[in-house]
Amino acid sequence: MQPVECVTCGNQVLCEKFSMAHTSVQWTAEAAVVCAEFRGRVAEGGTTARIRTCLALRGSIDRAVEEGTLEVADA
């Protein structure tokens, strides 16, 4: 797994790309505090376990793939 930092909030996660469609993300405990999208959903009564992704982080992961800092595993 490789670290990827969200360009919006600075939250850092560990990612692994198994294919262009399959991404594994390991969130940190601070995600609900650092990530504005997580924080907003938790404030509305949600739990981080039910949040599938953050759109800003998704964009940061896609950018990391485009820049070559996050590699897609060979099939």
CB neighbours of 72 closer than 8 A, spacing ≥ 6?
Answer: 17, 18, 19, 20, 65
Residue corresponding to tokens 């930092």: 5
CB neighbours of 18 closer than 8 A, spacing ≥ 6?
Answer: 24, 72, 73
Per-residue pLDDT reduced to its tens digit, 18-61: 998 899 998 877 776 788 888 888 888 877 777 777 899 999 99
How much is the pTM? 0.81
- More confident call, 75 vs 60: 60
Hey, what's the torsion of the CAs at 64, 33, 45, 58, to 10 degrees?
0
- More confident call, 29 vs 8: 8
